[in-house]
Structure 1
Amino acid sequence: MTLPPLHERLRAAAAELQSDRVSLAEMAAAHGPAAQGTLLVLMAVPCLLPVAGVGTLLGLGLVAVALAMWRGHELVCLPPRVAGMALPRQGAQRVLGLMAGFYDFASRWSRERLTHLVRTGSCRWLATGVGAMAVLIVLPIPFGNVLPALALTAFGLGMVFRDGVAVLLGAVFGVLALAFTAGLGLAAWHWGGEGLTAWLAA
């Protein structure tokens, strides 16, 4: 039996929600198969928003996805605190509706290509990339979540649609994210070192 497209399943799941509060685990389950890729997108997109604490908490969930990918596990066991994050029913319906629109738009541009980059058995390099981006998201860097979240979103879309081009785009964002973070670190060390030298010489 062929499953309906992901965006249709999400809209149907949003309409069928009954609980007053809906957890992240329930929203993830609404996506059905391709759990790793959809989890990446579901947890990466909120990290694009300047909401305090979201990156730290969801970063833990992203690390869990990276570990599952590294071990070759299809199923991901999210930390209880992450899985239990909940929204009111209307908020969850809004999120699922937005995700449905996002996947509907992405499906017009994505297709199966360079699929060797997204095979489950050969994703350790991708797991490493996901783990690195998750660590960057957890770090308290001003505007430091944007590039890693974009990288993770592209990785997730590549896994959902088996699109190696999207994965390569995610790798580009990932390299930029690492370069941005390294640049900030070097700048902080340089200016901090100069300040320390001036203080000692005073």
Structure 2
Amino acid sequence: MTQAATGAPLNGENGNGNGEAPRKVSEIVAALCAGDPEDRITLHDLIHAFGLRAFGLAILVFALPNGIPAPIAPGLSAVLGAPLVLLAAQMLFGLDHPWFPESWGARSFRRAEVAKLLRPALPVLERIERYVKPRYAHLTSRRARPLLGAVVLWNALLLSLPIPFGNLLPAWAIILAAFGQIERDGTLVIASLAASVVATGWVWFLLDVGLVVLEKIFA
């Protein structure tokens, strides 16, 4: 994937390589959606383009389609949950840069398909960015990476469960953790921890209700 193919630079560190402030997350996601719909994007392309913020941005991209209340393909939560689990495990064990198996990294997707999943999230991202700023930096430091990895890993496992209506809250717990890591905003990390507790309770409730329904059906 080249800058010419994207229609806008995708570098996750700054807009033009001249030391300017890092680009906003919404701008990076918008750049992913822009350009020729028939272009193909690989995971290797994304990780390279995201630069030093690759962990947070990659996690955000995989979580966003589940965080917007819109129809998605059946089973997509499980498909997107697999790379989230892998990325979270790497954060948990302190890796500095994301790694994907070669077969995953080389797999490509049409830009039109990527845009269809990510574009609905842009208005939400732009609203969040109005309030985001660096604070409580110790919660987003390298030492805190295992904590963020644990949050993402737990919620990615919840996200992967085939439970109707069970993906939205775990997805937002992941999105908040990723956004906090990207923007060095510790308040979002705290919010992601609270969202994780709520998401766990919600999924447990849905499981309990589902088991009761199944028991009545097959009793």
TM-score tier by shorter-chain length is 0.7 to 0.9
Partner amino acid, structure 2, of 1:113: R
Q: 2:109 aligns to what? A: 87
Q: 1:5 aligns to what? A: 22
Inter-partner Cα distance in structure 1 for 2:217 and 2:112: 51
Inter-partner Cα distance in structure 2 for 1:101 and 1:2: 27
TM-score by length of 1: 0.79
Match of 1:168 among 190, 205, 212: 190
Inter-partner Cα distance in structure 1 for 2:29 and 2:172: 21
Partner amino acid, structure 2, of 1:165: T
Inter-partner Cα distance in structure 2 for 1:157 and 1:101: 15
Structure with higher helix content:
1
The structure having more radius of gyration, on CA atoms, is: 1
Inter-partner Cα distance in structure 2 for 1:139 and 1:193: 19
Matched, 1:21 2:40: yes
Q: How does 1:28-47 map to 2 (within 5 A)?
A: 28-47=47-66
Q: How does 1:1-202 map to 2 (within 5 A)?
A: 2-7=19-24, 20-48=39-67, 49=70, 50-80=72-102, 82-92=104-114, 105-190=127-212, 199=219
Partner deviation per Cα, 1:140-196 (whole Å, 9 max, x = no partner): 000111001111111111000100111111112111110011122333445555777
Alignment partner of 2:109: what SS? strand
Aligned-CA RMSD value: 3.2
Deviation at 1:36, TM superposition (A): 1.1
Alignment partner of 1:87: what SS? strand
TM-score by length of 2: 0.74
Partner amino acid, structure 1, of 2:179: L
| 1:177–1:21 distance in 2 versus 1, CA, 3 Å | same
Report percent identity of matched pairs: 26
The total of aligned residue pairs comes to 197
Flag structure 1 segments of 5+ consecutive residues without an equivalent: none
Flag structure 2 segments of 5+ consecutive residues without an equivalent: 1-17
| 1:53–1:184 distance in 2 versus 1, CA, 3 Å | closer
Higher relative contact order, chain-length normalized (CA < 8 Å, sep 6+): 1
